[in-house]
């Protein structure tokens, strides 16, 4: 692969499985009295967040600290950026401080790519969500959650998600989570179906490696995992659907709809959930809903990504996996 | 075994030898630990784990008690971590009751530079505080680079640095053997 993680589409199947397997070992550290590993001792990681985010930033920070990295948090609000500094100057400032990796969240699609390829910095760049483009670690943690629940913790090691049916429901248009998931799940062999009102399906979706449906009730009975997305009001500048009630009635997941899913199927949500809109409290609080698990898995996945990109003298995530011993 | 040195590798221990050696080590552990009441065996992946499990089975035969056995991955504690691409992690599996106040016996296949064991001691430090730590190895080939020694040694095997020692175990390689071979031109590093 590369020194950076910009898009879930850049990952090969073997890269992705290596990350999931590594995350499985990282997850076991959480059960120890000392939740700390020395892998990134002496490495400096900057969390560069131009957009508000609670769970992603905290999750990255926890992952970095568990691997003993030195962590610098940089939020755009109240920083030099609010005084008019450009991305380039911010990046060069960080470079001058000698950072080894930049975890970046930016409102503009493509900002992490620009940072990684412009030659402004030598550090590894990890995309923590850019505009409506990509959020690769979210896709990885979702795949990890699915593999654990649908294949098994130990049985899943070395395995992908071949043959699993995943349905992603909601605001596909504005969702970087959906884009990343479609790319990664396709790489891992799963069949993805997107379900949304026609106005919330992006142009060009016919070129994506997935199916599109407008009828949630028809898709549910053959889904192994159903991922509900939040309707991103902050990105809505047009009337995409008549009323929230109508949206919720046609595309929201309630107890009756959940009953149509196969017995083993799980309900996922990248958070934050809007109860009563895309998901009812009954579903959100049920055993089949993996929201809290996804948060815990997020830390393990980010530890795995950080370790594989920064833990050695060069990134491990390549096509030629080095198998020693 | 790799094709490049299979021609010259010669077995120094065969299956029955390895079984005898493990039986002897098990008896030594019981003797030294006065009954092995608080022993926890931790194998170092990959082959140390299988040796640990075999030792545990022998100890159970001798003492009639269940001996806790697990594995300890040292990958992230290696002193050469930064010199190679990140390695795939192996499983760390600490038996349920933990290691606090117990006698931990580390189990590995070959003792060479001692760096693996140093890493293992660091890894243990993050998991708990054993009463004591001991080391059991199938083969000690010498050439220590750190002040580390084994408490239980299957076979002392004087080697030159131009030689390789390769342990094969049925669980991983399909047969039991310790092979002594000549190193291919470039040094392949420890183990």
Looking at this predicted complex, what is its ipTM?
0.84
A284 and A141 within one domain: yes
Predicted local distance difference test score (pLDDT) of residue A318? 52
pLDDT tier at A18, thresholds 50, 70, 90: very high
A60 and A25 within one domain: yes
Inter-chain CB proximity B81 and A325 less than 8 Å? no
A213 and A98 within one domain: no
pLDDT tier at B189, thresholds 50, 70, 90: low
A118 and A76 within one domain: yes
What pTM does this model have? 0.90
Which residues does A134 contact at the CB level (< 8 Å), separation at least 6? A6, A7, A8, A9, A109, A112, A127, A176, A179, A180, A183
Classify residue A324: in a domain, yes or no: no
A83 touches chain B (CB under 8 A): no
A168 and A128 within one domain: no
Q: Could you tell me if A317 and A309 are in contact, meaning their C-beta atoms sit under 8 angstroms apart?
A: yes
Classify residue A318: in a domain, yes or no: no
Chain A residues touching B83 at Cβ < 8 A: 312-313
Predicted local distance difference test score (pLDDT) of residue A220? 96
Predicted local distance difference test score (pLDDT) of residue B157? 95
Classify residue A23: in a domain, yes or no: yes
Inter-chain CB proximity A316 and B85 less than 8 Å? yes
Classify residue A225: in a domain, yes or no: yes
Q: Could you tell me if B66 and B40 are in contact, meaning their C-beta atoms sit under 8 angstroms apart?
A: no
Classify residue A319: in a domain, yes or no: no
- B6 or B150, which is more confident: B150
A206 and A64 within one domain: no
Predicted local distance difference test score (pLDDT) of residue A239? 78
B1 touches chain A (CB under 8 A): no
B136-176 confidence digits (pLDDT tens): 999 999 999 999 999 999 999 999 999 999 999 999 999 99
Which residues does A26 contact at the CB level (< 8 Å), separation at least 6? A37, A66, A299, A300, A301, A303, A304, A307, B89
Inter-chain CB proximity B86 and A18 less than 8 Å? no
Q: Could you tell me if A247 and A231 are in contact, meaning their C-beta atoms sit under 8 angstroms apart?
A: yes
Give the separation between CA A305 and CA A309, rounded to whole angstroms.
Answer: 6
Mutation site, B71, B85, B122, interface A, largest A CB count within 10 A: B85
Give the separation between CA A162 and CA A164, rounded to whole angstroms.
Answer: 6
A13 and A72 within one domain: yes
pLDDT tier at B103, thresholds 50, 70, 90: very high
Give the separation between CA B55 and CA B69, rounded to whole angstroms.
Answer: 9
The 3-class SS string of chain A reads: CCCCECCHHHCCHHHHHHHHHHHHHHHHHCCCCCCCCCCCCCCEEEEEECCCCCHHHHHHHHHHHHCCCEEEEEECCCCHHHHCCCHHHHHHHHHHCCCCEEEEEECCCCHHHHHHHCCCCCCEEEEEEECCCECHHHHHHHHHHHHHHHHCCCCCCCCCCCCCEEEEECCCCCCHHHHHHHHHHHHCCCEEEEECCHHHCCCCHHHCCCEEECCHHHHHHHCCEEEECCCCHHHCCCCCCCCHHHHHHHHCECHHHHCCCCCCCEEECCCCCCECCCECHHHHCCCCECHHHHHHHHHHHHHHHHHHHHCCCCCCCCCCCCCCC
Residue written as tokens 């009563």? Answer: A276
A117 and A67 within one domain: yes
Classify residue A207: in a domain, yes or no: yes
Predicted local distance difference test score (pLDDT) of residue B12? 94
Give the residue extent of every domain in chain B. Answer: 10-182
pLDDT at B1 over 80: no
Span A94-114, mean pLDDT? 93
Give the fold, CATH level 3, of B10-182. Answer: Rossmann fold (3.40.50)
A312 touches chain B (CB under 8 A): yes
Closest approach of A15 to chain B, Cα-based (Å)? 11
Q: Which domain holds residue A26?
A: 4-135+296-311
- Which of A28, A34, A324 is facing B92, going by the closest CB pair? A28
Closest approach of A67 to chain B, Cα-based (Å)? 9
Q: Could you tell me if A135 and A177 are in contact, meaning their C-beta atoms sit under 8 angstroms apart?
A: yes
A141 and A90 within one domain: no
A235-287 confidence digits (pLDDT tens): 776 678 888 889 999 999 999 999 999 999 999 999 899 999 999 999 999 99
Number of structural domains found in chain A: 2
Classify residue A13: in a domain, yes or no: yes
Q: Could you tell me whether strands A225-228 and A266-268 are parallel, antiparallel, or unpaired per DSSP bridges? A: parallel
Q: Pick the range with the lowest mean pLDDT from A133-137, B75-79, B82-86, B131-135.
A: B82-86
CATH number at residue A140: 3.40.50.1370
B9-22 confidence digits (pLDDT tens): 899 999 999 999 99
A61 and A42 within one domain: yes
Query: Mutual orientation of helices A13-29 and A176-187 as an angle, nearest 10°?
Result: 110
A41 and A156 within one domain: no
Closest approach of A23 to chain B, Cα-based (Å)? 9
Give the separation between CA A121 and CA A126, rounded to whole angstroms.
Answer: 13
Classify residue A47: in a domain, yes or no: yes
A168 and A61 within one domain: no
Binding site of A for carbamoyl phosphate, by residue number, is 55-56, 105, 135, 138, 271-272
């Amino acid at each position: 692969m590369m020194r950076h993680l910009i898009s879930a589409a850049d990952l090969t199947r073997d890269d992705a499985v290596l990350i999931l397997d590594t995350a499985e070992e990282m997850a076991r550290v959480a059960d120890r009295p000392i939740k700390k590993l020395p892998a990134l001792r002496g490495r400096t990681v900057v969390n560069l967040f131009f957009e508000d985010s609670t769970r992603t930033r905290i999750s990255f920070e926890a992952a970095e600290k568990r691997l003993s990295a030195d962590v610098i948090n940089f939020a755009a609000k109240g920083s030099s950026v609010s005084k008019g500094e450009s991305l380039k100057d911010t990046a060069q400032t960080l470079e001058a401080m000698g950072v080894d990796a930049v975890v970046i969240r930016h409102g503009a699609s493509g900002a992490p790519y620009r940072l990684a390829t412009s030659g402004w910095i030598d550090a590894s760049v990890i995309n923590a969500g850019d505009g409506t483009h990509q959020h690769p670690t979210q896709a990885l943690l979702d795949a990890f959650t699915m593999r654990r629940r649908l294949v098994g913790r130990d049985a899943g090691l070395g395995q992908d998600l071949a043959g699993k049916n995943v349905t992603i429901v909601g605001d596909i248009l504005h969702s970087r989570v959906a884009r990343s998931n479609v790319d990664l799940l396709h790489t891992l062999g799963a069949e993805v179906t997107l379900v949304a009102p026609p106005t919330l399906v992006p142009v060009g979706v016919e070129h994506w490696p997935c199916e599109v449906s407008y009828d949630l009730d028809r898709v549910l009975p053959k889904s192994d995992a159903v991922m509900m997305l939040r309707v991103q009001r902050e990105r809505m500048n047009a009337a995409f659907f008549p009323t929230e009630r109508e949206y919720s009635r046609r595309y929201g997941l309630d107890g009756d709809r959940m009953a149509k899913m196969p017995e083993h199927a799980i309900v996922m949500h990248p958070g934050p959930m809007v109860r009563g809109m895309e998901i009812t409290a009954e579903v959100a609080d049920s055993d089949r809903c993996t929201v809290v698990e996804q948060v815990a898995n997020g830390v393990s996945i980010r530890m795995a990504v950080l370790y594989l990109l920064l833990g050695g003298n060069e990134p491990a995530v390549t096509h030629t996996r080095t198998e020693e011993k | 075994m790799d094709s490049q040195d299979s021609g010259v590798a010669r077995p120094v221990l065969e299956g029955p030898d390895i079984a005898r050696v493990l039986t002897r080590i098990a008896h030594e552990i019981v003797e030294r630990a006065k009954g092995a009441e608080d022993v926890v065996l931790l194998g170092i992946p990959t082959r140390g784990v299988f040796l640990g499990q075999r030792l545990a089975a022998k100890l159970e035969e001798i003492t009639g008690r269940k001996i806790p056995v697990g594995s300890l991955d040292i990958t992230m504690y290696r002193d050469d971590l930064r010199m190679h691409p990140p390695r795939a992690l192996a499983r760390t599996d600490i038996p349920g009751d933990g290691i606090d106040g117990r006698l931990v016996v580390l189990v590995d296949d070959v003792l060479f530079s001692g760096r693996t064991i140093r890493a293992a001691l660091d890894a243990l430090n993050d998991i708990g505080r054993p009463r004591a730590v001991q080391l059991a190895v199938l083969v000690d080939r010498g050439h220590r680079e750190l002040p580390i020694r084994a408490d239980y040694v299957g076979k002392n095997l004087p080697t030159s640095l131009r030689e390789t020692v390769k342990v094969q175990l049925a669980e991983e390689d399909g047969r039991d053997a310790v092979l002594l071979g000549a190193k291919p031109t470039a040094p392949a590093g420890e183990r």
